Amino acid sequence: MKIIIHGGFFSESSQSDEVKKQKQDSLKNIIKKSYEFLMSHDSMETVIYAVKLLEDDPLFNAGIGSQIQRDGKIRLSASLMDSEKNKFSGVINVEDIKNPILLAQYLRDEEDNVLSGEGAISYAKNKGFDYYSSETEERRNDYINNLKSSGVGTVGCVALDKNGNLAVATSTGGKGFELPGRVSDSATIAGNYVNKNCGVSCTGVGEDIVSGAVAAKIVTRVTDGFSIKDAFSKTFDELKEIDGFAGAIGIDRLGQMYCQESHPKVVYASFDGEELIVFE
C-alpha cells in the first residue's frame, strides 16, 4: 500500500518559513491519517478521504481558502478516477459548496460523469449539499490587491491499495483573479488520470498542464513500458518547450512513487507505512 499527496506549489517569494512549516506539519498529519484509512479501505475511498482533508485546510487552495475569481466569486473544480472501473468523474466551476470532491464522487454513479457551472450547482443542491462560502480573509485580501502570484495551488492524491488498485483525486480553487468561466486542468485527464499501470495528479498553471497533457502522457508512457521516472522526465522535458509551469505526483502498479516539478517547490508528502517523505 502506498499513498502520495500534494498541496500545490510553495512560493518562497510570497510565503514565510512559518507558513512552510505549517504546510509541512499539515501534510504529515493528513498523509498519516490517510494511510491509516487506506489500511481498511480501497484506493478510491482513500483518495476521496485525503483530498477532503486537504479541502478542509485553509492553508491550501481547494475547498476552504480557495482563490477568488475576477468577478468576486469562488468557483471550485475537482475530479476522481480509479483503475478498477477506469471511470472518470468531475465538477467544473461549482459554487457555494465545501467539498467538490464529494460532488465528483456522486457523479460516478451517473451516466453524465462531468458537470460544469450551473448544471453542477443545481446537481449539488438536488443532492442536499449545504450552502458554504469557501472565502477566507487572506483570499479576500489577495483579491482586493489583485495578487495573482500565489495562484498555482491545487491539491491531489494518488493511492495504491492492498488489492493493487490505483486511484487519483484532484481539487482546486483556481488561480485567482481569472476570467469567470475559465477551466483548469484539475477536472480533465491532463491534470488527473489513472489506469491499471499508473496514476498521476498535477498542480501548477492549468493552461500549461492542459497544453502538455501532462497526467495522461505520463500514464500512457508507463503503460507503454517506460519506468515512472522516465515517463515523468520525458513529459517534463516536453513541457520545457512551452516553458510550462507544472508539478506532478504519481504511483505505478509496482508501488514506485515519484514527484517532479518544472519550478520549485511542489508541496507534497508520501508514505508507504515505513518511510515518510515531506517536501523541504
Amino acid (1-letter code) at residue 150: S
* 90 torsion bin: left (phi>0), alpha (psi -120 to 50), beta (else): beta
The set of cell numbers assigned to 87 is 471511470
Which of 46, 136, 154, 203 is the catalytic position?
Answer: 154
Amino acid (1-letter code) at residue 263: H
CA–CA dist 141, 11 (Å, integer): 17
CA–CA dist 126, 214 (Å, integer): 34
Which residue in the block uniquely carries the three cell numbers 502538455?
A: 212
User: Alpha helices of 134-262 — where are they, by DSSP H?
Assistant: 137-144, 206-212, 214-223, 228-240
Q: For 97-124, give one letter per residue: b (16+ CB within 10 A) or e.
A: bbbbbbbbbbbbeeeebbbbbeebbebb
Contact assessment for residue 144 and residue 173, using Cβ atoms and an 8 Å cutoff: no
136 a catalytic residue:
no
Q: Which residues are catalytic?
A: 154
